[in-house]
Amino acid sequence: MTTRKKWNRDLLLKHAGHWTWALLRALLMAGISFILLYPLLEKVCRSFMEIQDIYDVTVQYFPKHFTWKNYQMIAIWMDMPKTLWNTLLLSVTTGVCQTISATVVSYGFARYRFRGSKLLFAMVLVGLVVPPDIVLAPLYLNFTFFDPLGLIHLVTGASGINIADGFAPFLLLGLTSTGLKSGLYVFLMRQYFLGMPRELEEAAWVDGANPFRTFLQIMLPGALPMMATVFLFSFVWQWLDGMFTTAFLTDTKVMVTALNSLTHVGDLAAQGVSDPLEISLARYAGIVLLILPPLIVYIFCQKSFVQSIERSGLVG
C-alpha cells in the first residue's frame, strides 16, 4: 500500500512538473510574441483611424471612426500600382538571381576541394559581418564607371559606362553572389548540401552521369526546400532594403523609397496636405502595405522554410 502511494505521488509530481513547464513555456512564448507583434498591431489599428481618434483620449487601440481613407491617400501619394510593380519586379528578379548563384557557389564549396577553397569560404563568412554601408560607396563608383576588365576603355577610350541607376547593379550583384546578404545564402545552401548523402552522387557517377548532370538532376531537386528559403530571405530583405535602393534607384520608385519620401512635408503641401497627423496616419497605412507582401510570401513558403532549416544542421 505504501509503495502504491509513493508511486502515485511520484506520478503526480511528474505530471505537475510537466504542466508547470508547459505553462511557463506558453507564458514565455506569449510574452515574446506580444513584444514582437505589438508595434505591428499598433500600426495596423492606427492605419484605420480618423484624425479625431488621435485627439480622443478614450481611444487606445481600436478606432471609433473606422475608415479606409488613409489607404486611399497613401495609394495616391505613393503612386501605388507603379511603385508596387517596381518593387515586386526588383525583389523577384533579385531573389531568383541570388538563389541561383548561391546554389551553384555553395555546391562547389560543399563538394569540391581545391587550393584556397577554405580561404575563399572564410572570406564569404567575413562578408556576413561587414556593414553594407562600408561597401556602398565603392560599389556606387564601380557602377558609375563600369568597365569590366578595362574592355570599354580599350575599345572606346571612355572611362566606363554609367549603370548605377536602375536594376543592373542588383542583378549583377545577385548573379555574382556579392549582393545583399549573399554570404548568408551561400552558407545556408552549403550546409544543406553537406547534409545530403554522397551516395546519391556516387550512384549517378556509376550510371555515367557527369558532374553537371549530377548536380542538375540529382542534387538540385533535393535542395528545393532550402532554395525556397533562400528566395524567401532574399525577397524579404530586398523588399525592405532602403540603403541600396536609395543609392541605385534615383529615378525609380519602390515601396521603401516612396514611403520615406512622405517625410518631406513640403512635397505633400503641394498636394494640399499640411496636417502632420494626417501624414502620420497615412504613413501607418503605408507601413502595413509595405510588410504585407513579405508576410504573404512567408505564409506560402513556411513549410519549405521549416523543412530546410531542420535538414541544414543549423538546429539540433
* pLDDT for position 315: 46
Is 229 part of any domain? yes
Is 219 part of any domain? yes
Amino acid at 163: I
Is 120 part of any domain? yes
- For 293-313, how does the pLDDT look when each residue is reduced to its tens digit (9 = 90+)? 888 888 877 776 666 666 555
Is 288 part of any domain? yes
* pLDDT for position 101: 93
State the Cα–Cα distance between residues 87 and 111, nearest whole angstrom: 36
For the beta carbon of residue 245, count every other beta carbon within 10 angstroms: 24
CATH code of 95's domain: 1.10.3720.10
Is 171 part of any domain? yes
Q: 109: exposed, middle or buried (C-beta count within 10 Å: 0-12, 13-18, 19+)? A: buried
State the Cα–Cα distance between residues 230 and 251, nearest whole angstrom: 29
Q: CB–CB of 53/59 below 8 Å?
A: yes
170: cell is 542588383
74: cell is 497613401
Is 51 part of any domain? no
* pLDDT for position 5: 59
Q: For the whole model, what pTM was predicted? A: 0.81
Is 47 part of any domain? no
* pLDDT for position 316: 42
- For 133-162, how does the pLDDT look when each residue is reduced to its tens digit (9 = 90+)? 888 888 888 888 888 877 777 777 777 788
Nearest to 196 by CA among 116, 118, 302, 308: 308
Burial call 74-105: b when 16+ CB within 10 Å, e when fewer: bbebbebeebbebbeebbbebbbbbbbbbbeb
State the Cα–Cα distance between residues 269 and 275, nearest whole angstrom: 9
State the Cα–Cα distance between residues 130 and 13, nearest whole angstrom: 51
Is 9 part of any domain? no
- DSSP secondary structure code for residue 173 in this structure: H
* pLDDT for position 95: 92
State the Cα–Cα distance between residues 107 and 189, nearest whole angstrom: 7
User: Number of folded domains in the chain?
Assistant: 1
Q: Report the Cα 31 to chain-centroid distance in Å.
A: 25
* pLDDT for position 269: 53
Mean pLDDT by groups of 10 residues along the chain of 316 residues: 60 72 87 86 86 80 84 85 92 93 90 84 85 86 83 76 86 88 89 84 80 84 86 90 87 84 58 69 87 83 67 51
Checking 200-204 for CB contacts under 8 A at 24+ apart, the result is 201/111
Number of helices and strands in the chain (H, E): 17, 0
State the Cα–Cα distance between residues 284 and 281, nearest whole angstrom: 5
Structural domain that includes position 148: 70-311
For residue 146, the cross-strand partners are 161
